[in-house]
Amino acid sequence: MRLIQADPNKARLDRLITHWLKRHLRRLGADIDLKQINSLVEDNAMLAENLES
């Protein structure tokens, strides 16, 4: 998160990484409601909680 927030193009970088992560988790068959996750920077607590379960 720190690296994304420090980047001058943080909004674009966050969007690209979030999109990639959601696609990767879908391919792995993760049982997570990915529709709720729109940003790693903003939704990192929710993502971590979902990944734990």
Query: What is the tens place of the pLDDT at every residue in 4-50?
Result: 778 888 888 888 888 898 889 889 887 777 777 777 777 666 666 66
Find, among 51, 31, 34, 40, the residue nearest to 12 by Cα: 40
Q: What does the angle CA 12 – CA 41 – CA 5 come to, to the nearest 5 degrees?
A: 65
Find, among 47, 15, 17, 14, the residue nearest to 32 by Cα: 47
The rounded distance, in Å, linking the Cα atoms of 48 and 13 is 19
Alpha helices (H) in 10-52, listed in sequence order: 10-28, 40-52
Is the pLDDT at 53 greater than 80? The verdict is no
